[in-house]
Structure 1
Amino acid sequence: MTYCVAMRLDTGLVFLSDTRTNAGVDHVSTFRKMLVFERTGERVLVLLSAGNLAVTQAVRQHIVEARDTDTIWNAKTLTDVARVVGNAIREVYARDAKALETFGVDFNCSFILGGQIAGQPSRLFQLYSAGNFIEASSVNPYFQIGESKYGKPIIDRLVTPSTSLDDGAKCALISMDSTLRSNVSVGLPLDLLVYEENSLRVTRFASLTDDNAYYKMIHDTWGARLRQVFAELPEPQWAASAPGASAASLPPLASPPDEMPGAGDPVSVQSLAQDFGGGAPG
Structure 2
Amino acid sequence: MTYCLGILTRAGLVMAADSRTNAGVDYVSTHQKLFNFSLPGDRVIFLCTSGNLSVTQSVLTLIRRDLQVKAEVSLHTLPSLYEVARYVGEKMRQIQTQDRSWLEKDHIDFKCSFLLGGQVQGEDPALYMIYSQGNFIQASQETPFLQIGEAKYGKPILDRVLNFDTSLAAAAKCALLSIDSTMKSNISVGPPINLVMYETHSFKIHHELCLQPDSPYLAQIRRFWESHLNEAFERMPNIVWEEY
Q: Same fold (TM over 0.5)?
A: yes
Map of 1:16 onto structure 2: 16
- Which is worse superposed, 164-173 or 34-43? 34-43
8 A Cα contact 1:112 1:124, kept in partner:
yes
| Equivalent residue, structure 2, for 1:221 | 224
- CA deviation digits over 1:149-207, x for unaligned, max 9? 00001001111110000000011111111100000000011000001111111111100
Following the alignment from structure 2 to structure 1, what is the Cα–Cα distance between the partners of residues 146 and 125? 15
| Residues in 2 aligned to 1:48 and 1:59: alpha-carbon distance in whole angstroms | 12
Kindly provide the CA deviation profile for residues 121-159 of structure 1, in whole angstroms up to 9, marking residues without a partner as x.
111100001000111111111100000000001001111
Task: Say if 1:42 and 1:118, in contact at 8 Å, map to a contact too.
Answer: yes
Alignment of 1:85-124 (within 5 A): 85-124=88-127
Give yes or no for the alignment of 1:151 onto 2:154: yes
Q: Is the 8 A contact 1:23 1:185 kept in 2?
A: no
Residue equivalent to 2:213: 210
Q: Secondary structure at the match of 1:150?
A: helix
> 1:84-108, CA deviations, whole angstroms, 9 ceiling, x for partnerless residues?
1011011101101111101101221
Gap regions ≥5 residues in structure 1? 240-267, 272-282
SS in 2 for 1:193: strand
Cα deviation per residue 1:4-38 (whole Å; 9 max; x = unaligned)?
A: 00001101100010000127544431000011012
TM-score (norm 2): 0.95
Residue 64 (structure 2) pairs with residue 64 (structure 1): yes
Q: Which has the higher helix share?
A: 2
Task: Give the letter aligned to residue 111 of structure 1.
Answer: F
Moved over 4 A (4+): 23-26
Post-superposition offset of 1:69: 2.5
Cα distance change on mapping 1:108 and 1:38 into 2, 3 Å: same
1:250-269 aligned within 5 A? 268=243
Point out the structure with max Rg over C-alpha.
1
Residue aligning to 1:165: 168
Per the alignment, in what secondary structure is the counterpart of residue 181 of structure 1?
helix
TM score, norm. by length of structure 1: 0.83
Identity %: 44
Which one scores higher on RCO, CA 8 angstroms, separation ≥ 6?
Answer: 2
CA distance in 2, matches of 1:211, 1:162: 32
**Distance in 2 between the 1:210 and 1:220 partners?**
14
Amino acid corresponding to residue 11 of structure 1 in structure 2: A
Q: 1:165 to 1:91 in 2, by over 3 A?
A: same
Instruction: Supply the distance in 2 between the matched residues of 1:25 and 1:39 (Cα, whole angstroms).
Output: 39
CA distance in 2, matches of 1:141, 1:61: 29
Question: How many Å apart are 1:63 and its aligned residue?
Answer: 1.2
8 Å Cα contact 1:23-1:184 kept in structure 2? no
CA distance in 1, matches of 2:126, 2:210: 23
Unaligned runs of 5+ in 2: none
Look up the match of 1:255: none
